[in-house]
Amino acid sequence: MVEIIDVILPIFTLIVAAILTIPVFRLAHKSRYSNAITTAWFIAIFAVVGICVANLSLSYFSIANPPTLNLNLNGMSASPFQSSLLIDALSLYMAIIIVAVSIVVIVYSVFFINSAERLTGRYFAVMLMLTAALLGAVFAGDLLTLFIFWEIATAAVAFLMLFRKNAFSINAAMKYLIMVIIASAFVLLGLSLVFGITGSLNYIAISNAISTVSSANMPMLIVAFVFIAAGYAIEAAIVPFHFWLPDAYTASPAPSAAFLSALVDQGSYYILIRILLYIILPPGQGPIDWTIMLSIMAALTMIVGNIFALVQIDIKRLIAYICVADVGYNLIAITSVTALGMTGNLYFFLIGGLTTALAFMTIGVLNNHGIKTLDDAAGIGKKMPWVSIALIVAGLSFAGVPPFGGFMAKYFVFTAAIEANYSWLAVIGILTSILQTAYIFRLINIMYGKKAKDDKPIAFKMNKKIFIPIFIMVAAIFILGLFPNIILQLIQPVINQLPFFTLLI
């Protein structure tokens, strides 16, 4: 039996750990073993959080075919007027991803960022707070609770972007905050309209109320959901709302870019899934046919992201535009509204997060050695072989080259589009993937085929333990590409809880 404390405990643990992280770092700075102490601290935190999430999952799945649980703070069935937490297979799947990816990126951050820097303790405290906010968002059972947790997450994102405090990062953070304020205004307006029409912000209550809304109120309800979807589309960087993302990721320190691309970006897709599939419902079962508009936005996002990536000279910015393109591939999966599409989307959550995190982690190492542009990367395949191999794995996974995880992710997504009679969208996805492969191979050619500017070896300036989290990501992308059933078994319960899907797996 799941209790409310089981849901709150991992979130509360991360909040308490965030508060304690600053004094722990102050003590660690006085020791010769600063990195060891801070690494052990984060491993201990995530061991506790992992145990909490595992216990929650085991409690929930202790019965066959468990129902969706919507709990208020008293642990009882949620009232339409109360803030609530929701437990189902989807929220648990997302929570597992958040915890697993967070610990790897944070360990990387410990080796990347000089622990003696001012505000380092606060930086890691914010990363923990951001993780707690993301867990709160995926466990939210109503639109207001979701909004509050997501706003906490966006505030944390702005701090991570501003850590270096240079002109570029300040400009990027300002652009991000302006877009977030606009998005928040859209969402708040939509929430007020939904509450006025349905009398609730609870996911289940809204979904049930939609079928009884009068024809006079239906146009206003549609407008409300358009505002909500538009707000979260801005934060998901869907074209034409993508302008903030390339600057944000390019200006952020590598650990921040890895964290944001792997978790915050993926969280945005989760919100769209929760709203479109669990509240509004698919066409034929809900009041709005949202698939046509979403398919157009998916096509534009894939095309724009890949074309802009093709012309980039800065490697980090190139990867940022690949992140924009990946948003489009995720939208294909949502648009298909099939079991295979949902499977592809959830698989893409994990593989896309791992791949973008790996790319930014390797680029962080390159940037620290003065390698920022394609010209700088000439010949580094021989000078920095391990970093180069990791970046190639990320690039090939992005392009959907077998046997890496990105291949299976795109296979699921494109097959689902064809199955749902969106063959034209699958064709665009395949063509843009070919374009993606072309500029990834251009990068590989520069790294291995072009002669370096000089023959001097590159002295490695960083802690070599930084390769541990990097190659954990490499191994995960390779293993999950060869054995996708490891993840598909976690996804199947999500499919089982959506009765309008025909089970295809």
Residue 45's pLDDT is 94
Residue 500's pLDDT is 58
Contact 126, 183 (CB under 8 A): no
- Cα 25 to Cα 368: distance, rounded to the nearest angstrom: 23
- Cα 287 to Cα 219: distance, rounded to the nearest angstrom: 10
CA angle 39, 346, 307 (to 5 degrees): 90
Average pLDDT over all residues of the chain: 84
Share of residues in the chain with pLDDT > 70 (%): 93
Residue 391's pLDDT is 92
The confidence band for 284, taking pLDDT boundaries of 50, 70 and 90, is low
Q: Compute CA distances 454 → 362, 450, 451, 460, whole Å.
A: 22, 12, 8, 16
- Cα 447 to Cα 182: distance, rounded to the nearest angstrom: 41
Q: In Å, how far from its chain's centre is CA 257?
A: 11
Residue 253's pLDDT is 82
Lowest-pLDDT range of 19-28, 275-284, 480-489 = 275-284
For the cut 70, the answer to whether the pLDDT of residue 499 exceeds it is no
- pLDDT tens digit string along 320-378? 999 889 888 888 888 887 788 888 888 988 898 899 999 999 998 998 888 888 888 88
Closest CA to 420 of 353, 345, 489: 345
Residue 503's pLDDT is 37
Q: What is the DSSP string of 53-87?
A: HHHHHHHHTTSSSPPPEEE-TTSSBPPTTS--EEE
Dihedral through CA 446, CA 451, CA 457, CA 458, nearest 10? -30
Q: Who wins on pLDDT, 380 or 118?
A: 380
Residue 196's pLDDT is 84
**pTM for this model (two decimals):** 0.90
Q: Please name every residue paired with 69 in a beta bridge, in sequence order, or none if there are none.
A: 87
Classify residue 421 by its DSSP letter.
Answer: T
For the cut 60, the answer to whether the pLDDT of residue 407 exceeds it is yes
Residue 499, amino acid: P
Lowest-pLDDT range of 57-66, 223-232, 260-269, 281-290 = 281-290
- Cα 223 to Cα 227: distance, rounded to the nearest angstrom: 6
